[in-house]
Each structure stands twice: as C-alpha cells, then as structure tokens.
Structure 1
Amino acid sequence: MRSGTLLAVTGIGLVAASLAGIAVASRGGNRPARAARYAAWGSALLAGSVLADSAMEHYRGNFRRKEMFAAPVVAAGTLATALATAVTSRATSYKAALFGGTIATGLFGLGFHLRNILSRPGGLSWNNLFYRAPFGAPGALALAGLAGVGAVAADRADRRERLGQKGHGRRAGYGLGLFTAAGLFGLTAEVGLLHFRGAFHDKLMYAPILALPFTGAAIMAATADPQPRRRSLARKSLEATAGLGLVGTGLHAYGVSRNMGGFANWTQNLFQGPPIAAPPSLAGLALMGFAALDLLDRHGKDPSHGPR
C-alpha cells in the first residue's frame, strides 16, 4: 500500500466514523448534559488523533503484526461512539461497554510497545525510546476511552441528580479530574521525550513541557478541593492548554512544510514529521478537564461538598 493510499484510507475512516456517529445520534434521544458533551467531544478529538497517527505509524512499521490493525480500527469505532455520545443519551450501557473496550485496547497497546522497546538490543535505552514503538502512544487511546466513560457517567449523574439522588455529579467530576491530570502528566513525558529527540531546536518546543504539568497540578488541586479560586485557575490553565493544542497543530504543519519538497512531497514528509495529528490530543484532554470542572462547579461553593 502506498502512503498516499494509506492517507486516503485514513481520511475515509475519519469521515465514515463521524457519519456513523451522526447516524446513530439521529435516531433521537435526549440531549446529554453539558459536562457529558465536553467529555464526549474530548474523547472524539483523542480518538481522531489516534486514528490518524496510528494508521500512519503502523503503516510505517509495515503492519508486520496483525495486532497493529487494532489501534486504527478501535480508534475509528471510538470516534463514532464519542460523536453519538455528544448528541444523544440513548444506549448508554452499549456506549460504556465500547469505551471500556477502548481502554482495554489502549492498555494492551502500552504492554506491546513496552515489550517492543525492551526486546531490542540495549533494552531500555535512549536510542530505543527515541526510535522504537513510542511507549506512551497507546495511552492516548486509553484516555479516549476514559473520556468516553466519563461522558456516560456525567450524563447518568445529571439524570440521577434531577431525580434527587445527590452526589453522583461530584463523584463523576472527581474521577474525570483525576484522569485528566494523569493524562496531562503522562503526555508531558511523551512530548518531552520527542521534543528532546528534536533537540528543542525551537524554543516553542518548551511550551508544552512547562504548560502541561502546571495544568495537571491545577486540575488536581481543583478536584481535591473545588474552591472557586482553584477552579478558576484550572479553567484558565485548560483554556491555555486547548489553545496550545491548536497552535501546536499549526506549528507541526509548518515543520512538515520545511522538509525538502514541503507539502508538494506530502507522501513522504507527513511521515517524517513532526506529527500533525498529535497536538489535537491536548485540546481533547482540555475538554475532558472542562467536563470535570463543570461537574465540580455544582459542588464547589460549599467546602463540605469536596470529594471524600
């Protein structure tokens, strides 16, 4: 399969998954709560990023193992499910099961990538971390599944609280906040490693290394004790992280254009990087954090409502 064909297939996969999600959603159902929509859109962004990136990277690895088809296929299904979750409350149990499968696939992928690194000559060395299967990449797929599960939990919590069952939103917000912080810390390690491989040749490459752990700490603090000031700081940090994801996408595209031949030679230069599909995952995590804050906002006015 030529690279151009692969990219066409990836694009078709993105469109097909999106249409599938819209088709499911068009059958009706109540509109999900705002927090659920935030988390679902975050899941969709993460899944779309994984679909595009894994299709290209696994193609570069010649799909030499059949398991390498799992990531793009599961990511496409997750993208469709997340889009459906963002616009309808129907079939929540079915969606939760699909997102659970996404989490399991991402965790298995982490194991496969780690084994790939450790099985090479030199084992856990800088060379293998730089140029073998990226150790943290499958984590984005697991995070897409977690964001999806969080979206389902947020929607269920909203419905239960409307029936007078208090506390469900706080617990859902607590879980989403912790998973968002963990994802931001993990992404810091992955981005730091790859930007270090690039020798930080552009000072802007330090931006995510500084911003992501700060945002992770801010959302963790707001989750542990949702005081107004902490929630405000976390929200501003998440806004900056989302903006950084958008700016990073443009900067990566500019980096590709600087390779010999630029986009006129896109069938090669897109594979040489930097990966255009990677930065949107920052915006996906930010949306996941916004969902957590939306749930915590309802319980942050009184300190007694903090997570226990």
Structure 2
Amino acid sequence: MDYVTLNNGLKMPQLGFGVWQVENDEATPAVSTALEVGYRSIDTAMIYANEDGVGKAIDKSNVPREELFITTKVWNSDHGYENTLKAFDESLERLGLDYVDLYLIHWPTPKFDDYVETYKALEKLYNDGRVKAIGVCNFHIEHIQRLLDECDVLPAVNQVECHPYLQQTELKNFCEKNNIYLEAWSPLMQGGDVLNNDVIKGIADKYGKTPAQVIIRWHLHSDVIVIPKSVTPSRIRENFDVFDFELTEEEMAQIAELNRDERKGPDPNDMNKR
C-alpha cells in the first residue's frame, strides 16, 4: 500500500475504495470485502445514502479504527454554516464513528454562493478535532482561489472527475502548486470507452494486467489519489492488485496523449442541484 502525506502531515492511502452508486445493503459486503483485500481508505457521502452500510462494515471489521481512513461529504442542500455542522453530526451517527479522517464539500454550487460559509464550518470541525483533514470536491481553480483568499485552513484534497480522457492537467498543476492533492473519482471513466482504448489495452497486454489496472497504476504514477468502485469481489481484488508493476515514462507519455477533456459527470459550474 502506498500512502501520501497531506498538507497537514496526515497520511492517506493513495488507493482507496469508493461506494458511489452502491446501494446501502450492498455497501456492507462490498466494504467488508475491500477491507479483507487490504483497502484501508473508504470514500462515501451523505447523498450516496450508504453511510449506514459503510458503518456496519467498519463495525464488524477487525481492522483497528486508527488504521482506517474514512471520507464523507456534505451535500449541496446542507450548505451554510449551521446546516453543515448538523449534517456532519448526522453523517457521523450513520457511520457510527467518533470522527472522520476527511470531510469534503461535495460541490461548490456557485449559483448559491455559499461554499465559503460552508467551508468555514469544516474549519470549525477541523479545529475542534472532529475531522483529521478537510477539503473539497469538484472545485475549479477559481473556487479554490476564493477559499485561499477568504479562509484559514488550506484544503487537503480536491476530489474531481479524472481519467485518461479527462486528465485535469491545469487544475492538477494549480493544486500541486498550492500543496493540495488531487483525488480522482470515476477514475476508470464510468460508462466511457477508455477501458477499450487500444493504447491502454496494449500496455495491459504487455504486463499481463487488465486495462483497469493500467489506468489505476497511471493515476498512482501521476501522484493522484484514486478511489475505484465495484461491488464485485473479483473486481475489488483486481483493482487493488496494482503494486507489482510500473509504467515506463514512454507509457505515461502515451496515456498523456489520450486526453480529450471529456466529462461524464456535470461541469461543476453547472451543478446547482439541491
């Protein structure tokens, strides 16, 4: 397992397990399998409606709490200072935990212009020791810049859609410059055809790996945190079996040329659903 060190000194597994679009009753066996395989970072959110299922898997696991890294997120409808503090308490109760390791704003929803106030609630949770680190999801450069200008605690992570067809190079460079880690959701481009790309498939054949494993390895080599999702035990294991090969500089360059700036999810400026 590889770890990264966030800007406040906290260590976070670079490869984690995501549960987006996983039903609550499926989350418990899926997370249990992930923990058995060796994952130690689990990424959920209030809007996924599976924090309870994730919490049950954590509770029945033999893995000590201090070895786990649990992330959850505040949803758009809970923006605002007091709303965020309340939403956090409710997430913590569903998870059955005393603290979470990383708490994120799920979307900036710029139309409502309240993400700065929301982030200040995250700062309070951080300063009170109820979360180990705070950050954001789906923030463009201009959204992060406002936090840098108006808030005190540097975001540790910006979790965004990222895969070989949407490489987020400019945003990643900005985050690196400001000591913020980029974290990839939809790292395998859900519903996309990147797994069938001839370049990816060629590299996979060379190493006796799957296209998904090559893409996860590409994320890791790119110094990006990555959270693939699956409910299939064999796929959960496969996605974790990526530490026994390395991509060459030439292969990394070949994948870099695949970028199309192609999103599957919404542009953050257009996501204003509450």
TM-score relative to the length of structure 2: 0.26
Structure with higher Rg: it is: 1
Higher helix proportion = 1
The one of the two structures with greater contact order (alpha-carbon pairs below 8 A, sep at least 6) is 1
Length-normalised TM-score, structure 1? 0.24
